Amino acid sequence: LHGEIASHIVRGNMDEARKAAMEYRNIFGEDNFYLEIMENGIPEQKIANQGLIELSKELSIPLVATNDCHYLNIEHAEAHNVLLCIQTGKTIEDTDRMSMSTDQFYIKSPEEMETLFAATPEAIANTVRIAERCNLTFEFGKFYLPKFEVKNPEETLEDYLERKAKEGLEKLMPVIMKYQNGDDEATVREKYFKRLHSELEIIKKMGFAGYFLIVSDFIKHAKHNDVPVGPGRSTMMFPSVPGEVLQQDLLWPMPSALLILTRFATGCFLNDFLIRTESTCRILTLISARSDVVRLSSM
């Protein structure tokens, strides 16, 4: 219900829902995009389902039936309600607390799902089609990331990242100096460039130069096209000197991400970037153009 298309439908904005559906289909491709319908007993969900089914017929976008699960069996609904109270510091008697409005958020059997979606059997069949397409084999312990292309064939990703980061820090030095309390510029420059070098070495060791450059690429694209972008939450891009100078932002006089970055220096796992933006479609268009992997999504 919180998805863009369903939200438009519930608010009665079918034109906007249609526009969003076509835009997502264009981004992901005709065979990679599905409209998601659920049956959870919520009145707004029924409204959304009706609109999604209409759009499916009108735009020839396939449906897929899903089941939002928060507990195992239907009799667990009350216990889950109590757990939500514990989590949010509320009591059962509180009227303004977070709660599930129905007891239908349990794992339903195949027979139950077929009964609930008897009017749209293709939505059930498509769950299998999607699952079959998700079968793959890959080498564990290896990261699979979209490729960031550097125009100069004699320059590596690491070289390019270092050059752009140093250029960005140089441009930000006048802003950085405004936060200093009496330190001379030479001392401040040495401190920041030393810190930049340390963090870049960690990023290079992890093999994440392309990762930083890809995120930097679409954030810059957003800013240059008047798409509002916030820092979001991340233990990789922000707050780190490379992350900030690549975006030409300064969130702290001296970011404190060195210890955080060091956590990933072993390269054992890859942390994510959580970026806030008001125009998901426009950002996805750029990201999809940068990615060489098959994209499959439901909205």
288/28 Cα distance (integer angstroms): 8
Confidence tier at 283 by pLDDT (50, 70, 90) = low
Instruction: Give the model's pLDDT for residue 293.
Output: 39
pLDDT mean over 202-220: 82
Does residue 282 have a pLDDT over 90? no
Q: Phi then psi for 255, rounded to 5 degrees?
A: -55, 155
Q: Phi then psi for 30, rounded to 5 degrees?
A: -60, -35
Q: Phi then psi for 98, rounded to 5 degrees?
A: -70, 135
Beta strands in the chain (DSSP E): 33-37, 63-65, 229-234, 273-277, 297-298
Cβ atoms of 290 and 146 closer than 8 Å: yes
Query: What count of residues does the chain have?
Result: 299
Angle between helix 185-206 and 209-224 (nearest 10):
120
211/144 Cα distance (integer angstroms): 10
More confident residue, 204 or 117: 117
> What is the model's pTM?
0.54
102/233 Cα distance (integer angstroms): 32
CB-based burial label for 82 (10 Å; 0-12, 13-18, 19+):
exposed
Instruction: Give the model's pLDDT for residue 155.
Output: 93
CA 159, 165, 168, 174 dihedral sign is: negative
Confidence tier at 26 by pLDDT (50, 70, 90) = very high
